[in-house]
């Protein structure tokens, strides 16, 4: 399940709401652990991995018609919490298949989750075939043990290599240009959720990190060296590493005072998450969203922030179309090796070569940073969406009615009515001015209402006096009738 780091400090309205989530030792924590079903599953069909494949894995011509089926030895492995290889990058069942390999595993609270697994051993076997009994097959077609989840980090890789692979598996690359046999059918990007060739191109880039080409390469290794240099050079790797913070953070701050409808509220988004766009949404009163300043590009709800080592600030503008409270929420999913799992079958083929160690990006285990803030918009008379008639007063004609007067005060009209002074009236709606429940002169000024004029007080007193006179005359007339 997704891990959401959310910290909110809420005031009434127009007060900053900020959330800062930090995870110490980011990128060098232990990988996600395997979940085991509490109730063993029965035979089922796993979901397919993202993207498309050249072959249809649900209509295979080999010993297993539907390669997404989890049965036999596959089912045993699944119920033990292991990753289960389903089909290769082309959607086929091949003992010498090409990675990445689609695998499924159990995730607590979710069920079966299928994700692409990328190889990190260029010269080892893929080991992803399956027979009619659900056995995992090695390069020579013989059954081999099911996959194990490595208990810690990949022992072959350095911390920086793990970070780079985690970045590639999660984000891919928007551009790709391979040389010779590594052109991957002239793929122009390297992503996991694209087609088979684009996914195969991403696998090449993963190998550029895990298995750098040796000096003075020849043959196909010379082509691989050229591909790695063009797409994942030392300078590119350093740039990616610089964009991955050790302790990522996200903060959102909004305006401290209410704004008239039509004006633009400024929200400052501060973050050091540059490897993936932030998702920014608005709620509450209808409003438009724009970038006012800072290194941010907004496309729909995606805000791509650029920067180096230190956090940067992007100012967003929110313009409401009516009175009320506008909310702005921002979320980010920074790159981290904490949601990369490492899986390998311990089996050896006849040539004594081991199976690949697969890197699997555990989407369900992502850490999500969250920040939010609000702004209040009021009309010219100082009322927001919650303001009632007569600035909060209830107008009611009749001897016992209450007439709205002043700042939400009730002035009695007729016998039995009461007059609420400016200081005694109830506060204006939340969010006006300072954002707290206002009272007294401050509340009146915050909403744009005027203090109660002396003439209003005199009129209210006259109304009370007139009511008393009428009541006295009514009682006297009643006494005369009784006497007669």
Q: Tell me the residue ranges of DSSP E strands in 26-134.
A: 44-45, 69-70, 84-87, 101-107, 111-119, 129-130
Question: Binning pLDDT at 50, 70 and 90, where does residue 11 land?
Answer: very low
Which of 3-7, 180-184, 260-264, 381-385 shows the lowest per-residue confidence on average (mean pLDDT)? 3-7
Kindly state the percentage of the chain with pLDDT values over 90. 46
Residue 109, sorted as left (phi over 0), alpha (psi -120 to 50) or beta, turns out to be: left
Q: Average pLDDT, whole number, for the chain?
A: 75
**116 versus 433: which is more confidently predicted?**
116
What value does the mean pLDDT take over residues 263-292? 92
Q: Which residues on adjacent β-strands are paired with residue 266?
A: 317
Query: Residue 330: is its pLDDT beyond 90?
Result: yes
Tell me which of 27-36, 84-93, 285-294, 320-329 is least confident: 27-36
Contacts of 363 (CB under 8 A, 6+ apart): 113, 115, 339
| Phi, psi values for residue 475, rounded to 5° | -65, -40
> What pLDDT does 148 receive?
80
What value does the mean pLDDT take over residues 89-93?
97
Work out the percent of the chain whose per-residue pLDDT is above 70: 65
The phi and psi torsions of 252 (rounded to 5 degrees) equal -125, 130
pLDDT surpasses 60 at 438:
no
Above 90 in pLDDT, residue 227? yes
Q: Which helix (H) or strand (E) holds 409?
A: strand 409-412
Rg (CA), the chain: 34
Tell me: pLDDT of 444 over 50: no
pTM: 0.62
Greater confidence, 225 or 453? Answer: 225
- pLDDT given at position 290: 95
Mean pLDDT of 210-228: 95
Alpha-carbon dihedral sign for residues 177, 178, 180, 181: negative
């Amino acid at each position: 399940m997704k891990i959401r780091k959310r910290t909110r400090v809420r005031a009434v309205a127009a007060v900053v709401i900020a959330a800062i989530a930090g995870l110490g030792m980011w990128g060098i924590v232990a990988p996600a652990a395997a979940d085991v079903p509490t109730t063993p599953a029965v035979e089922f069909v796993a979901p397919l991995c993202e993207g498309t494949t050249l072959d249809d894995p649900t209509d295979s011509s080999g010993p297993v018609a539907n390669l997404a089926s989890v049965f036999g030895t596959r089912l045993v492995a699944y119920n033990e919490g292991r990753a289960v290889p389903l089909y290769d990058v082309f959607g086929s069942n091949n003992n010498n298949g090409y990675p990445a390999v689609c695998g499924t595993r159990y995730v607590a609270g979710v069920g079966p989750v299928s994700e692409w697994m990328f190889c990190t051993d260029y010269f080892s076997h893929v080991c992803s075939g399956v027979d009619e009994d659900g056995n995992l097959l090695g390069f020579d077609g013989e059954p081999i043990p099911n996959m194990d989840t490595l208990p810690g980090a990949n022992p072959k890789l350095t911390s920086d290599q793990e970070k780079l692979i985690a970045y590639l598996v999660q984000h891919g690359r928007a551009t790709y240009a391979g040389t010779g046999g590594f052109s991957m059918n002239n793929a122009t990007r390297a992503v996991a959720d694209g087609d088979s060739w684009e996914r195969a191109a991403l696998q090449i880039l993963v190998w550029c990190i895990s298995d750098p080409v040796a000096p003075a390469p020849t043959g196909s290794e010379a082509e691989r060296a050229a591909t790695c240099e063009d797409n994942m050079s030392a300078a590119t790797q350093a740039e990616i590493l610089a964009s991955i913070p050790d302790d990522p953070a996200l903060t959102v701050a909004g305006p401290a005072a209410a704004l008239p409808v039509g004006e633009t509220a400024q929200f400052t988004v501060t973050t050091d998450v540059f490897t993936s766009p932030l998702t920014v949404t608005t709620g509450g009163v209808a409003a438009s969203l724009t970038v006012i300043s800072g290194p941010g590009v907004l496309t729909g709800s995606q805000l791509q922030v650029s920067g180096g080592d230190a956090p940067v600030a992007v100012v967003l503008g929110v313009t409401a179309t009516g009175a009320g409270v506008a909310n702005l929420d921002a979320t980010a999913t920074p790159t981290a090796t904490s949601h990369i799992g490492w899986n390998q079958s311990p089996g050896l083929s006849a040539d004594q070569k081991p199976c690949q160690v697969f890197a699997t990006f555990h989407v369900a285990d992502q850490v999500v940073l969250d920040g939010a803030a609000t702004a209040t918009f009021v009309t010219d008379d100082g009322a927001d969406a919650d303001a009632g008639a007569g600035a909060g007063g209830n107008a009611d004609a009749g001897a016992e009615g209450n007439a709205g007067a002043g700042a939400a005060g009730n002035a009695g009209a007729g016998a039995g009515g009461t007059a609420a002074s400016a200081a005694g009236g109830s506060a204006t709606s939340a969010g006006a001015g300072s954002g707290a429940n206002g009272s007294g002169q401050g509340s009146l000024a915050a909403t744009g209402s005027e203090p109660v004029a002396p003439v209003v007080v005199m009129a209210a007193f006259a109304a009370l006096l007139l009511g008393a006179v009428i009541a006295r005359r009514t009682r006297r007339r009643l006494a005369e009738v009784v006497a007669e």
